[in-house]
Amino acid sequence: MTIPDLRGLAGQPVIVGGGLAGVMTALMYDRPCVLLSSGPLGASHPAAASSMLAQGGIAAAVGADDTPALHAADTLAAGAGLCDPGVVERVTADGPDAIARLAAFGVRFDRAADGTLVLGLEAAHSRHRIVHARGDASGAAIMEALVARVRRTPRITVLENARVHALESHDGAVAGARVTMDGRDIAWPAPAVVLATGGIGGLFGDTTNPLGAVGQGLALAARAGAVLGNMEFVQFHPTALAARHVAGPMPLISEAVRGEGAVLIDEGGERFTAELAARDIVSRAVWRHMRAGHHVFLDARQVLGTRFATRFPAIDALCRAQGIDPARQPIPVRPAAHYHMGGIVVDGRGRSTVPGLWACGEVACTGLHGANRLASNSLLEAVSFGTWVARDLSTLAPVTSAEPPRDMGAAATVRPASHEAWRRRMARDAGVIRTRDDMREALRVFAPLADGDDGALVRAMVLCAALRREESRGGHFRADFPQAAAVATASRLTLADVREHTATPAAKAGEMTQTPDNGVVA
């Protein structure tokens, strides 16, 4: 891609991220825009969108026995006191319309013979309300339909293999981005930048996310001066497939399998926890059982047996690729970093605290998830806030004259954001169960590197927020502070806060080592 090819894109909003939130924003915006994807849009690759991997589907109160109020109550309960009730009410009320919007874009949801939606049950939901598309391959089915629509929409310009490495500011507002594309560094003026860059699972040793999900958008926003919120809250999925030979994200054994009645057992066949408790509770139970020397399995033999392949064809294929027949064998599982409840603080329009910068999807902290995301609310949030961001962008005055993107020369070499030793350390010291000493040691490692390395910066932000929260709540559990505080308080953090927190002799003296870390990681 060369500069003459980009001149016609001057003055258009730039949407960064090729997952569901970014794609939905582009589709719902009613004017020309640019959609930047770090890899091939809609494809599976190391930097792919997590949306492609989603199995569970979308939570929406569309059943005859369900209401948005019931959905909201379940969401608030899972969020452990840190949800914004107004946001929860608004998003859950939008659920049925969100399903309709997706269907209008060509998503074919699973339906019964009478045409009604087939609804699944997942942990901490009081009703069957999980809407699927192509069974347990819902994310891929949804994304394939939307990407096809994007490619048929002339006003959306898709630029693939394009990475934003910095945001440009003017008079305290974001005024564009610096984009690496085809080995060139492009200065890209824009009236609005929307970050929809996903989560941080790739920063941890075991994760269900693409390894490219390392919090790039969080680092961009922090360096631009944005406020970040609830960075300490990381959800660990309790049942990732403990595969022997997997390069990349760990295959996920969807919560829907437990919703069908599958149970968690150890090598002796003994059950040890309530399978449909909230994810943080189940993850800690699995983690502790593993730390006690046990192996953990998800057993669907009695409840599904030979029906497993029909009910969960994608999961069945994943298991069989590892030599496991889930109809006849229990599935080995372990916790893995799955979803980040924290992110860029935004309002109901998706606006961050920095003018000119919007955010939606997992990179944003909207107030929906609180301390612990309710299963399958993430895709709903992406659809709802992607829509609302697009509508807000549509209220901006059109740009009549704007600078075109400029070629600034050869792009600098990008260093890996997630070294394996760093991932293991983060999993051990800031994983399912945390302590002050472990987190301080990890911060000593990452703080000196934060100014020049985005991955180290995001790790430092998570650690700083986790050290500040001296209680256990939702996805954040501290063995040294195992009880929840009497009052739930959301956390807020800026780059300046991180620098102040880490400006200690111990932090300044920290040195990164590549010594392998041993032991159980999450």
Catalytic residue numbers read 279
How many angstroms separate the Cα of 437 from the Cα of each of 117, 189, 467, 500, 520?
A: 49, 44, 10, 19, 17
- What element of type H or E holds 197? none
CA distance 104 to 98: 10
DSSP H helical segments within 152-254, as ranges? 216-223
Place of tokens 């391959």: 137
Residue pointed to by tokens 């990407």 = 147
| Residues contacting residue 239 through CB under 8 Å, at least 6 positions apart | 252, 253, 254, 255, 257, 258, 264, 282, 286, 298, 331, 333
CB-CB neighbours of 85 under 10 Å: 13
Pairing of strands 33-36, 156-159: parallel
Pick from 22, 88, 89, 137: nearest CA to 372: 88
SS3 assignment, position 101: helix
Cβ atoms of residues 363 and 218 within 8 Å = yes
Sign of CA dihedral 274, 297, 308, 54: positive
C-alpha distances in angstroms, 306 versus 14, 130, 298, 456, 501?
48, 23, 15, 46, 55
d(C-alpha 423, C-alpha 207), whole Å: 10
Q: Are 139 and 107 in contact (CB under 8 A)?
A: no
Query: E-strand spans in 205-330?
Result: 228-229, 234-241, 263-266, 296-299
Long-range contacts of 401-405 (CB under 8 A, 24+ apart): 401/11, 402/10, 402/11, 402/189, 402/191, 403/10, 403/189, 404/3, 404/6, 404/7, 404/9, 404/10, 404/189, 405/3, 405/6, 405/7, 405/9, 405/10, 405/179, 405/186, 405/187, 405/188, 405/189
Task: Tell me the two tokens of residue 379.
Answer: 């895709």
